[in-house]
Amino acid sequence: MAARAVWSGVIKIAELTCPVKLYTAATTSDRIALHMVNARSGNRLKRVYVDDKTEKPVEKDDQVKGYETSEGAYVILEPEEIAAAVPDSDKVLKVDHFITCSQIETTYFDKPYYLLPANDVGDEAFVLIREALRKKKAAAIAYTVLFRRLRPVLIRAHRKGLIATTLNFDHEVRSSKQAFKNIPKLKIADEMLELAQHILKTKAGQFDPTKFEDRYEDALAELVKAKIEGRKIIPFKRPETTKPNDLLEALRLSAAGKEAKSAAASKVKRASTAKKGEGAVPKRAAPRRKAS
C-alpha cells in the first residue's frame, strides 16, 4: 500500500498469531478546504485561546485539559498524567469471539481500516484467517488500543484482505427506540404498498460506490469557480414534499415510468393554459369609422 500504516501488531486467535498492519480505508484529504478569513482585509484568521476571566491569550505551554467538578472549578490533568493513565498499546488485536455477518448492527460502525499482512512470514496465517472467516460468513470481534483508546474492532474478509472496523461503544450509540418513538403507526393501503414494491423492483441495482455523487463538493467547487469568474450562482431549489392526498398519484406515476410522467405534466400544462384562457378578459374590438 502507498499509504503509511497507522498501526502495526498481530492478530491473536487463541494460540494463532499473525503479524499485520492497519491502513486507513477512507480519507477526506481530497475534499475542498475552506478557511476562516477576515471579510474586511481578506487575511486568514487563526484561532487563539483566551482566559475566559482575564480575556488574555494563553500560551500553548500553559494550555492543559481539565475536568469540571462544579461550575467554574476544574481538576487539572497534565499531559503526562493522562498518558500514564491510558493503557499502553500491547500491539495485539486479540480476538474475543466470532459472530455471523448477519448479526452485524451497522449503527455501531465507526471507521474502516484495511488490514494487511505485515511481512512474508505471516502471509499463510493471514490467508488462513481470511478464508476461514469467508467460508463461515463470520466476523471476528477483537480488542486493542488504538490512538490511546481501548477499542472494539470488527474484522471481516474482504477480497484479498481483511477489513477492520472500529466500533462505537454501546453508551455512544443513541437508542433507536427513543429516536423512532414519535413516528405514528399508520395503516398503508394495499395498492400503495404494491406500487411501492413495484418501484423497488424496477429500480433494483447493484452496490456500486463509483457511481456515488458528492453533490456538496461539486456544488462547492462550482461556487468557488463562479466567484473567481464573477458569475452569479442560481440557488438550488428543493423539491416539494409529496402531500398525503397526492401520495397515491405520485406512486402511480412513478410506477408507470417517464412517459406517463411526461404525459401527466403536459396534461397539467394544457389544463393550466386553458384555465388562464377562460379567465382572461377579451380585448374590445376598435370601433369602425363610418364612411363619410
In a domain, 166, yes or no: yes
Q: What is the pLDDT of residues 131-178, one digit of tens each?
A: 999 999 999 999 998 887 889 999 999 999 999 999 999 999 999 999
Residues 99 and 149 placed together within one structural domain of the fold: yes
Same structural domain for residues 153 and 254? no
**In this predicted model, what pLDDT tens digit does every residue of 66-96 receive, in sequence order?**
999 999 899 998 888 877 776 666 789 999 9
Q: Is 147 inside any structural domain? A: yes
Place of cell 374590445: 284
- Tell me, yes or no, whether 94 and 140 share the same domain: yes
pLDDT 10s digits, 242-285: 777 777 788 788 788 755 555 555 555 555 555 445 444 444 44
- Average the pLDDT over 200-211 and give the result: 84
Domain count, the chain: 2
In a domain, 126, yes or no: yes
At 181-202, the pLDDT tens digits run: 999 998 988 988 998 888 888 8
Domain range for 253 is 184-201+245-263
The pTM of this model reads 0.68
pLDDT of residue 201: 86
290 pLDDT above the threshold of 50: no
Quick one: 19 and 96 in the same domain? yes
% of residues, the chain, pLDDT over 90: 47
pLDDT at site 281: 40
